[in-house]
Amino acid sequence: MLINKNEFRKQQLAKLRDFSQSYQKLQEDQFLQEKLIATSDFKNSVSIGITISTMDEIDTKLIINTAWQFNKQVFIPRCLPGRRMEFTQITDYNRLTKNKFGILENWQSQSTINNEPDIIIVPGLAFKSDGYRLGFGGGYYDRFLAEHDLMSISMVGSLRLIEQSCWPINDYDIPVKKLITIE
């Protein structure tokens, strides 16, 4: 049975918030990050696009720190008018500001912009096995991925992989190319 996206989003956020402080989430996040770092996509990349995670997302700090350790360029999204976004380079966690969604962004004027990183790590609340995702409702990643044909990867914890079709897929929804799961 299909549920309205906004209703399913509310239900999923409630589940994820209850789960966010659990030891199991810490274990899953660590496992998923290590699994992503072990992929040839990550190993062969020079640049990555990735968000600095919030409590509702899979942790990304190990990936970011590992990327820096191997001299990879790290780019984080920043929101633009018209529900668009671009990726700006960061070399540390300093001088970042939270946007209206609570997401850390880089607004330094000298920032390098790269909207074609080798890989892009896409967050989401829920995922289907075919790569379709339910995001946070702004459509930023769907718009971005529609304009940029990149290697898109999502890390999917146990509560995020939805076996049955629960929400409708629209023409503007763009699936990610690869899912990293706990299996």
**What is residue 134's predicted lDDT score, i.e. its pLDDT?**
94
137 known ligand binder: yes
Mean pLDDT throughout 9-35? 93
Taking the model in full, what pTM does it have? 0.93
Mean pLDDT throughout 95-101? 89
Contacts of 143 (CB under 8 A, 6+ apart): 83, 84, 85, 172
Q: In degrees, to the nearest 5, what angle opens at C-alpha 161 toward C-alphas 132 and 83?
A: 40
H or E stretch at 168: none
pLDDT in tens, 43-64: 999 999 999 998 889 999 999 9
160 known ligand binder: no
Scanning 92-168, the segments in alpha helix (DSSP H) are 140-147
User: Which tokens belong to 161?
Assistant: 């992989």
140 known ligand binder: yes
34 SS3 class: helix
Asked if 15 contacts 174 with a C-beta cutoff of 8 angstroms, the reply is no
Calpha distance 122→133 (Å, rounded): 9
**What is residue 178's predicted lDDT score, i.e. its pLDDT?**
98
What is the domain extent for residue 148? 5-181
**What is residue 110's predicted lDDT score, i.e. its pLDDT?**
78
52 known ligand binder: yes
82 known ligand binder: no
pLDDT in tens, 86-95: 999 999 999 8
**What is residue 71's predicted lDDT score, i.e. its pLDDT?**
98
Asked if pLDDT for residue 112 goes beyond 80, the answer is yes
57 known ligand binder: yes
71 known ligand binder: no
pLDDT in tens, 147-181: 999 999 999 999 999 987 788 888 999 999 999 99
Mean pLDDT throughout 122-143? 94
138 known ligand binder: yes
124 known ligand binder: no
Calpha distance 134→113 (Å, rounded): 26
Poorest-pLDDT segment among 1-10, 122-131, 141-150 = 1-10
Report the CATH number at residue 64: 3.40.50.10420
Asked if pLDDT for residue 109 goes beyond 90, the answer is no
5 known ligand binder: yes
DSSP assignment of 78-112 equals EEETTTEEEEEEESSSTT-EE-TTS-EE---TT--
DSSP assignment of 126-176 equals EE-TTS-EE-SSS-HHHHHHHH---EEEEEE-TTTB-SS--SPPPTT----
147 known ligand binder: no
133 known ligand binder: yes
Q: How far is CA 98 from each of CA 29, 37, 90, 104, 105, rounded to the nearest angstrom?
A: 23, 26, 14, 4, 6
Unique residue bearing structure tokens 């402080």: 21
User: Which tokens belong to 120?
Assistant: 């892009």
The structural domain count of the chain equals 1
Asked if pLDDT for residue 29 goes beyond 80, the answer is yes
Average pLDDT along the chain: 93
